[in-house]
Amino acid sequence: MVEPVAGSTGGARPTMGDVARAAGVSTALVSIVMRGVPGASEATRRRVLDIADEMGYVPDRRAQKLRQASSRLLGVVFELQQPFHGDLVEQIYAAATRRGYDVMLSAVAPSRAEKVAVQALMRERCEAAILLGTRFDTDELGALADRVPALVVARASGLPGVGAVRGDDVAGITLAVDHLTELGHRNIAHIDGADAPGGADRRAGFLAAMDRHGLSASATVVTGGTTETEGAEGMHTLLEMPTPPTAVVAFNDRCATGVLDLLVRSGRDVPADISVVGYDDSRLARIPHVQMTTISQDATHMAEAAVDGALAQISGDKAVDLVLAPHLVRRATTGPVAHRD
């Protein structure tokens, strides 16, 4: 047990100097121990750490980073309400740790604009900014890239100086349409993502895939979005059509969750009456009672590529636009088309 010493904090947050006085060593030596660098014997290191623990001393990591030439910190901006972004963040943490970096998160929410989220990261001296599903335009991305290496995930950047890691949205939607046509579906609809990143490519990919199958006349696109509410509203529109579709491809898993909820509440059986395909293979798609057929963007691979791309730009390499191939994950929400009278 460490006894109180002269000059102790008296209840205030203990400092490095307080630890040094209690241990009878210099502040510089305590700094060496706290940073985990060579310069202290094992016995001294253990004694200093024990005293620091007893006093409740917590190193000021932010101050340490300010004193370091490299913060070894990657900033990540993500949308708080998007499940796939949560999956990506989890994998980005793991990928960064394996490369000796830490991650600083800043969330975008209905009450918090993306500009505010980015500004918060810039105050933390992040070495690079990784933006998940950003809605920044090219001017905003360019301004950010002038301050720090920047990389976007799940969309193209549109700028040679800003890296990108994204899935092939056209190919992904094509996989969904091909899967449904193989099951005999001909009247297929797409609830799109409105102005969400990737929305235009998925919409175009859907129409092109339907045309390739000779189904342009029965290809329906209705406005949706990224949320359950928007998915449900899009499905409501489709159910009011004279001939509702036998299959629906939603913009993402969250949108598809709203579709499934409305279908259950309206007495439709999935997939006997209507098949549903999501997009992302987020944690929503894997819920046991849902088991959603979806298009996987492989969060692990995407996160690894994003971290590698950001570190390459920090090292001075040119920004790269990397496009990853998606794949279909077949589960319980799709099945053969039912014959209608």
Q: How confident is the model at residue 26 (pLDDT cuts 50, 70, 90)?
A: confident
Which of 14-28, 56-70, 110-124 comes out lowest in average pLDDT?
Answer: 56-70
Do 89 and 175 reside in the same domain of the chain? no
Do 157 and 263 reside in the same domain of the chain? no
Do 179 and 290 reside in the same domain of the chain? yes
Do 24 and 92 reside in the same domain of the chain? no
3-state secondary structure (DSSP) of residue 318: coil
Taking 70 as the threshold, does the pLDDT of residue 280 lie above it? yes
Residue 64 covered by a domain: no
Q: How confident is the model at residue 5 (pLDDT cuts 50, 70, 90)?
A: very low
Pair of tokens at residue 94: 């793991």
Residue 89 covered by a domain: yes
Residue 195 covered by a domain: yes
Do 187 and 291 reside in the same domain of the chain? yes
Q: How confident is the model at residue 55 (pLDDT cuts 50, 70, 90)?
A: confident
Do 96 and 173 reside in the same domain of the chain? no
Do 24 and 106 reside in the same domain of the chain? no
Give how many domains the chain has, as a whole number.
3
Do 219 and 269 reside in the same domain of the chain? yes
Residue 26 neighbours by CB distance under 10 Å? 11
List own/partner pairs for 239-243 with CB under 8 A and 24 or more apart: 239/266, 239/268, 243/187
pLDDT in tens, 150-168: 999 999 999 999 999 999 9
Do 259 and 178 reside in the same domain of the chain? yes
pLDDT of 1: 42
Taking 90 as the threshold, does the pLDDT of residue 291 lie above it? yes
Taking 90 as the threshold, does the pLDDT of residue 15 lie above it? no
Residue 202 covered by a domain: yes
Residue 40 covered by a domain: yes
Domain-ending residue, one of 7, 34, 59: 59
| Phi–psi pair at 189, nearest 5 degrees | -120, 155
Taking 60 as the threshold, does the pLDDT of residue 65 lie above it? no
Does the bond joining 271 to the residue before it have cis omega, within 30 degrees of 0? yes
Domain span including residue 200: 169-296
pLDDT in tens, 181-239: 999 999 999 999 999 999 999 999 999 999 999 999 999 999 999 999 999 999 999 99
| Residue 243: Cβ-neighbour burial (10 angstroms; 0-12, 13-18, 19+) | exposed
What is the secondary structure of 187-225 as a DSSP string?
Answer: SEEEE--TTSTTHHHHHHHHHHHHHHTT-GGG-EEE---
Give the Å distances, CA to CA, from 296 to 4, 72, 178, 205.
Answer: 58, 31, 15, 16
Taking 70 as the threshold, does the pLDDT of residue 252 lie above it? yes
CATH number for the domain harbouring residue 25? 1.10.260.40
3-state secondary structure (DSSP) of residue 175: helix
Amino acid at 227: T
Residue 68 covered by a domain: no
Do 33 and 128 reside in the same domain of the chain? no
When the pLDDT of each residue in the chain is averaged and rounded to a whole number, the result is 91
Do 135 and 178 reside in the same domain of the chain? no
d(CA 273, CA 334): 10
pLDDT of 334: 98
State how far Cα 311 lies from the chain centre: 18
Do 288 and 318 reside in the same domain of the chain? no
Helix (H) or strand (E) holding 76: strand 73-79
Taking 90 as the threshold, does the pLDDT of residue 70 lie above it? no
Taking 80 as the threshold, does the pLDDT of residue 49 lie above it? yes
Amino acid at 206: F
Residue 341 covered by a domain: no
Which of 25-29, 31-35, 45-49, 121-125 comes out lowest in average pLDDT?
Answer: 31-35
pLDDT of 61: 59
CATH number for the domain harbouring residue 96? 3.40.50.2300
Domain-ending residue, one of 25, 59, 93: 59
The predicted model gives 282-293 an average pLDDT of: 96
Taking 90 as the threshold, does the pLDDT of residue 340 lie above it? no
Residue 2 covered by a domain: no
Taking 80 as the threshold, does the pLDDT of residue 115 lie above it? yes
Calculate the CA dihedral of residues 205, 207, 210, 212 and round it to 10 degrees. Answer: -70
Which of 37-41, 124-128, 175-179, 277-281 comes out lowest in average pLDDT?
Answer: 37-41
More confident residue, 138 or 6: 138
